[in-house]
Amino acid sequence: MCIDMSSTRIRRIGILVTGECNLHCLHCLQSLRATTCLDSSIIFRLLQEANELGAEEVLLSGGEPTVHPQILRIIGHIKDLGMKYSMNTNGQNFKALLQACSILPPSHFTVSLDGATQDSNDAIRGPGAFSKAVFTLRLMGSLGQKARIQSVLTKNVIPEIQKMIQLAINLGIDGLVFAVPMPTERLISMNLLPTAREIHLAISKITTIRRQYSSELSIAVYGTMTNHARLSPFEVCDNLRMRELSVDWHGNLVLCCQLAGYPYNENEVIASLFNKSLRDCLLPLRSRIVAMQACFNSVFTRGSVKYSTPCLWCARTLDKYWEPNSNYAK
């Protein structure tokens, strides 16, 4: 199964502007990150280069992007280039988010919540996290700003799927995204990682429920179980189709932001952008993706591919994945 990338146009650049965060969530892929902020001068150059390559939108992420000391200048530069942006945030720093909106309203904010109540969310994200995130979501709604919730399908979230949907509707926001978790040692040690069957059943439930709420709320699942849909990662991942470029908080062009946060090695790094331009890195990136695609195809044709999500397959292919529970991938 080959995906033609010859006519691919880069649409977006995602930048992990910092590894720092003001929360310490139990399931976080980035829990081992150094407290590093990417220098704003590098970010300004990369935004210019991405714009010249045809990218129209920027995804600001982290860590928590609002803790970057130059985040408002970064947004101002995006505005000057005539680009759009979106932001992944934990919603704790609502003052910075308001300031960001005053400079350039984003396409949307994605605010992380991992429970429909204060008790369930704060057990994962820390005391006070729920009330601040909900306040931010209500504030964004009152301003007419598009916002959505992202929730990771851990064992504590799966029983609250219906409640999460109702919470999103009550808050008057635009969408709710459920994300499939990546295995980490801490997630497993805390007994928060579901089995593949549990996740498959949860996704089936979400698929059924969202039809009932299609007029009130957009509901999606990020990182769907591709072994059930029989889709190649190269058909569903914008990074692997070179529609999106990703830069980590060290200034490296990487395959994607998920792998940049996933520990154990740095095989996802394509090149350092401190001494190379984005354009110079496109050929090495394409070569890496073509090699990964050939690897996938050689196994896929034998009918022995085992992976639960595109992200999990890439993590294994790049030897980043620590295999703690074989039931998760089947």
- Predicted confidence (pLDDT) per residue in 84-121, tens digit: 999 999 999 999 999 999 999 999 999 999 999 999 99
CA–CA separation, 71 vs 100, rounded Å?
A: 8
pLDDT at 3 over 90: no
With respect to residue 105, please indicate whether it lies within any of the assigned structural domains: yes
Question: Is there a domain that residue 126 lies in?
Answer: yes
What are the pLDDT digits (tens) for 211-241?
Answer: 898 888 999 887 654 444 456 777 778 899 9
Judge whether 6 lies within some domain.
no
Q: Tokens 């059943």 correspond to what residue?
A: 201
Q: Is residue 218 part of a domain?
A: yes
**Backbone phi and psi for residue 37, each to the nearest 5 degrees, phi listed first:** -110, 130
Does residue 7 lie within any of the structural domains? no
| Lowest-pLDDT range of 9-13, 161-165, 265-269, 318-322 | 318-322
The 10s digit of each residue's pLDDT in 25-65 is 988 887 555 678 999 999 999 999 999 999 999 999 999 99
Q: How far apart are CA 235 and CA 109, in angstroms?
A: 26
84 near 107, Cβ under 8 Å?
Answer: yes
- Is 100 exposed, middle or buried, given 0-12, 13-18 or 19+ CB atoms closer than 10 A? buried
Tally the domains of the chain: 1
> What is the rounded distance in angstroms from the CA atom of residue 266 to the CA atom of residue 148?
31
CATH number at residue 155: 3.20.20.70
Whether residue 189 is contained in a domain is answered as yes
% of the chain beyond a pLDDT of 90: 59
pLDDT score of 125 more than 60: yes
Of 119, 109, 199, 117, nearest in space to 149 by CA: 109
pTM to 2 decimals? 0.91
SS (H, E, C) the chain: CCCCCCCCCCCEEEEECECCCCCCCCCCCCCCCCCCECCHHHHHHHHHHHHHCCCCEEEEECCCHHHCCCHHHHHHHHHHCCCEEEEEECCCCHHHHHHHHHHCCCCCEEEECCCCCHHHHHHHHCCCHHHHHHHHHHHHHHCCCCEEEEEECCCCCHHHHHHHHHHHHHHCCCEEEEECCCCCHHHHHCCCCCCHHHHHHHHHHHHHHHHHCCCCCEEEEECCCHHHHCCCHHHHCCCCCCCEEEECCCCEEECCHHHHHCCCCCCCEEEECCCCCHHHHHHHHHHHHHHHHHHHHHHHCCCCCCCCCHHHHHHHHCCCCCCCCHHHCC
Among 10-24, 117-131, 272-286, 302-316, the minimum mean pLDDT is found in 302-316
The first and second tokens of residue 278, run together, are 């984005």
Q: What is the mean pLDDT of the chain?
A: 87
Whether 4 maps to a domain, the answer reads no
Mean pLDDT of 309-317: 79
Give the Cβ contact number of residue 107 at 10 Å. 12
Between 223 and 81, the more confident residue is: 81
CA of residue 160 relative to chain centroid, distance: 21
Mean pLDDT within 243-254: 95
Residue 3 counted as domain residue: no
- Residue 197: what pLDDT? 85
Range of the domain at 70: 12-328
Note the pLDDT tens digit of each residue in 286-303: 999 999 888 887 766 544
